[in-house]
Amino acid sequence: MKITFQINGTAQTVETDENTPLLWVIRDLLDLKGTKFGCGKAACGACTIHVNGEAVRSCSYAANLAAGQNITTIEGLAVGDELHPVQQAWLEEIVPQCGYCQPGFMMATAALLEKIPNPTDDDIDANIVNVCRCATYYRMRKAIHRAAAIKSVNQ
C-alpha cells in the first residue's frame, strides 16, 4: 500500500506492506540510517523516533500507523547546521562511545524535555529507559541536564 507522511519536515509517500515496521521504511526506503535496529521488540530504544513529538520505538510501529503523521528522526533534530540542544549537550559532554544507541537516547531525551523542561534525576531515571551497552549513562545524565539548560537559554 501507499503511505504518506511528513518526515523531518518533508512529505514522503512510500510503497510498502502495511505491517512493515516503520523502522525499515525509514532506514531502507528513505535511507535515513540514524535510527537503529537493536532488538525488534521495543525493548532497547535504539530505534526511537518522534511521531507528532512523542517518543516512539519504530521497530514495533507498523508503517500504516504513520499515515498522515508528523515524524522526526535524528537527522531532523537539528535545524539546518544548528544542532538541537540535546545534540549540542551530547557534544559538549563527549557522551558517545560506540555511538550506536545514542540517536535513540537523544530522541528520547528531546521528547522528555518537551514535557519536562528541567527534569530531575528521578525524572530522568523514570523516563530514559533505553539500553546502552557501553554504559555511557553517567555522561548522558550530565548531558540531559546540560541540554535542559541550553534549551532554557535559547528560549
Partner 1 sequence: MDHSAEQDKKGKSRRGFLVKAAVGVGVLLGTGYLTRPVWRRSIAGMVNTADAPYVGDTKTPPLWFEVTADNEIILRSPKVEMGQGTFTGLAQIAADELEVAIGRIKVVHASTASGNIDGFSTGGSTSISSLWMPLRELAATMREMLKNEAANILGVDVAALSVADGVITASERSLTYGEVVKEVKEWDIPAVPPLKDVSTYRYVGQPIPRVDLKDKVIGAPIFGMDAVLSDMLYGAVVRPTAIGSKYVSADTSRAEGMPGVVKVVKEKDFVGVVATSQMAADNAKKAIDVTWDIPKTWELSDIEAMIQVGQGTPYVIQKEGRAASILAAEEGIITAEYKSPIGAHAQMEPNGAVAHVTADQATVLISTQVVGLTRKEVADRLGFDQEQVNIQPTYLGGGFGRRLHTPHAIQAALMSRAVGKPVKYFFDRKEEFQNDTFRPPTHHVLKAKLGADGLIEAMEHNVSSGDVMFGSPILPGILEPIVGADVGAWRGGMIQYGKIPHYRAVSWRVKLPFATSWWRSLGLLANTFAIESFMDELAIQAGKDPVQFRLDQIQDDPAGRRLQAVITAAATRANWQDGVLPNGRAMGFAASTDANTPVAQVVEVAIVDNEIKVLKVTCAIDPGLAVNPDQVRSQCEGAIIMGMSAGMFEKMIVRNGELQPTIYGPYQMALMRDAPREIDVVLLAGTDAPGAVGEPPLGPIVAAIANAVFRLTGQRLREMPLTLV
- Residues at the site binding partner 1, with contacts judged by CB under 8 A: 16-17, 19-21, 24, 28, 31, 33-41, 43-44, 46, 73-75, 78, 83, 87, 90-91, 94, 96-103, 106, 121, 124-126, 128-141
DSSP 58-107: GGGSBGGGGTT-EEE-GGGTSBTTBPPHHHHHHHHTT--SS-TTHHHHHH
Q: Of 25 and 51, which CB lies nearer to partner 1 in the complex structure?
A: 25
Alpha helices in 36-101 (DSSP H): 85-92
| Strands 54-57 and 70-72, bridge-based pairing | unpaired
Q: Of 6 and 142, which CB lies nearer to partner 1 in the complex structure?
A: 142
Amino acid found at 59? C
Q: How far is the CB of 6 from partner 1 (least distance, A)?
A: 19
Q: Of 51 and 96, which CB lies nearer to partner 1 in the complex structure?
A: 96
Q: Of 91 and 149, which CB lies nearer to partner 1 in the complex structure?
A: 91
**Per this entry, what is the length of the chain?**
155
Of the candidates 48, 21, 25, which has an alpha carbon nearest to the alpha carbon of residue 36? Answer: 48
Tracing cell 535504539 back to the chain, one arrives at 46
Give the separation between CA 75 and CA 93, rounded to whole angstroms.
20
Q: Of 69 and 96, which CB lies nearer to partner 1 in the complex structure?
A: 96
Give the separation between CA 133 and CA 155, rounded to whole angstroms.
34
Q: How far is the CB of 123 from partner 1 (least distance, A)?
A: 11
